[in-house]
């Protein structure tokens, strides 16, 4: 029986790009997704890009029986765990939904993995676990847990569960990848970020303004202690992020126990830097208005990703221009996302 990589949330933005890179690298992949924030259209397009069929199952991690059935059907060597709710604002309005979906879903997954002798996992964590930076750039030793919203807390709590699990049972090998801000899309323009409703993140919003779906961008705050007064973040091309998962998969082969890595570029760009870069890539003006700061937003946040470079032999290679060009290709070819 072939050994497969199970990708939970594999029809989503980062998941689908990672599935492409896994298949291109010769891995057999099975996708699980409950399709709350995703569409199976993304998997159809992954199949077009790779020329391979991708077994996909519409299963919710809260459905323990369906999950057990999936593990009976396939042999898995490792799990890449992307599945989870991820909208910061929504998590503040619906905290119980976030805790139940993200925490209980993960516990179900870990229990079923253990029952089936699968002890290798790569977990999709987030730089939100760092909270407000005490120092910059953020390295993996920076204090964690000062999360400003329930979404970030779910990532922090899951990290703690996984660390405790590895301490209790040395059969487990788990890598926690703390993402900074993924942007861009596959160079084909066939897959990309397809937010439902109003985008929560800056760049999909900018792209929708450029394509004429939205009138203007709202910039929250111009009085931060940054070069131009707008918030600074570390933006990473989604394909670089996907390749970071492949590097982590190789690390699991070393029986590495529990490891934590930042995946970012180490460079910070302001909101207005991003707007200018996208205007250049799209050839379209991006009208914007400045309003007051948002509660909970921080001035600057960017990574020290040298640990991933040293231990995983991975580094983000794609430039800001490439992020914007690839995002514009996706947005102009798919003005309504996968709809």
What gap in Å lies between CA 212 and CA 28, rounded to an integer? 39
Say if strands 232-233 and 269-270 run parallel, antiparallel, or are unpaired.
antiparallel
CB contact set of 13 (below 8 Å; sequence gap of 6+): 38, 182, 192, 193, 194, 238
Q: Please tell me whether residue 80 adopts helix, strand or coil conformation.
A: strand
HEC sequence for 248-268: HHHHHCCCCCEEEEEECCCCC
Q: How far apart, in Å, are the Cα atoms of 98 and each of 91, 104, 149, 155?
A: 6, 10, 11, 10
Residues in the chain: 339
What gap in Å lies between CA 98 and CA 62, rounded to an integer? 12
What gap in Å lies between CA 30 and CA 76, rounded to an integer? 9
CB contact set of 124 (below 8 Å; sequence gap of 6+): 9, 14, 80, 81, 82, 84, 177, 179
Catalytic residue annotation: 151
For the CA atoms of the chain, what is the radius of gyration? 19
Q: Are 164 and 157 in contact (CB under 8 A)?
A: no
Q: What is the DSSP string of 231-244?
A: -EE-EEEHHHHHHH
CB contact set of 290 (below 8 Å; sequence gap of 6+): 219, 221, 222
């Amino acid at each position: 029986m072939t050994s497969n990589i199970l990708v939970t949330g594999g029809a989503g933005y980062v998941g689908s790009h990672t599935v492409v890179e896994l298949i291109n690298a010769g891995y057999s992949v099975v996708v699980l997704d409950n399709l709350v924030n995703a569409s199976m259209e993304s998997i159809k397009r992954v199949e077009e890009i790779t020329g391979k069929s991708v077994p996909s199952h519409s299963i919710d991690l809260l459905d323990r029986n369906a999950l057990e059935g999936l593990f009976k059907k396939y042999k898995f060597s490792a799990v890449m765990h992307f599945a989870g709710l991820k909208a910061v604002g929504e998590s503040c309005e619906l905290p119980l939904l976030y805790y139940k979906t993200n925490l209980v879903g993960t516990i179900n997954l870990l229990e079923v993995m253990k029952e089936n002798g699968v002890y290798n996992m790569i977990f999709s964590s987030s730089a939100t676990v760092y909270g407000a930076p005490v120092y910059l750039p953020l390295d993996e030793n920076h204090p964690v847990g000062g999360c400003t919203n329930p979404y970030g807390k779910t990532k922090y709590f899951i990290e703690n569960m996984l660390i405790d699990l590895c301490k209790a049972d040395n059969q487990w090998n788990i890598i926690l990848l703390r993402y900074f801000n993924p942007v861009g899309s596959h160079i084909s323009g066939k897959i990309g970020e397809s937010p439902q409703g109003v985008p929560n993140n800056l760049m999909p919003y900018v792209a929708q303004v450029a394509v004429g779906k939205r009138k203007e961008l709202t910039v929250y705050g111009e009085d931060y202690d940054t070069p131009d007064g707008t918030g600074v973040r570390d933006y990473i091309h989604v394909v670089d992020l996907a390749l970071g998962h492949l590097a982590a998969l190789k690390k699991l082969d070393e029986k590495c126990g529990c490891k934590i890595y930042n995946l970012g570029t180490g460079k910070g760009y302001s909101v207005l830097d991003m707007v200018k870069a996208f205007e250049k890539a799209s050839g379209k003006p991006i009208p914007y208005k400045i309003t007051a700061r948002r509660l909970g937003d921080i001035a600057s946040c960017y990574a020290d990703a040298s640990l991933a470079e040293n231990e995983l032999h991975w580094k983000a290679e794609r430039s800001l221009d490439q992020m914007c060009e690839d995002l514009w290709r996706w947005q102009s070819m798919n003005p309504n996302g996968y709809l």
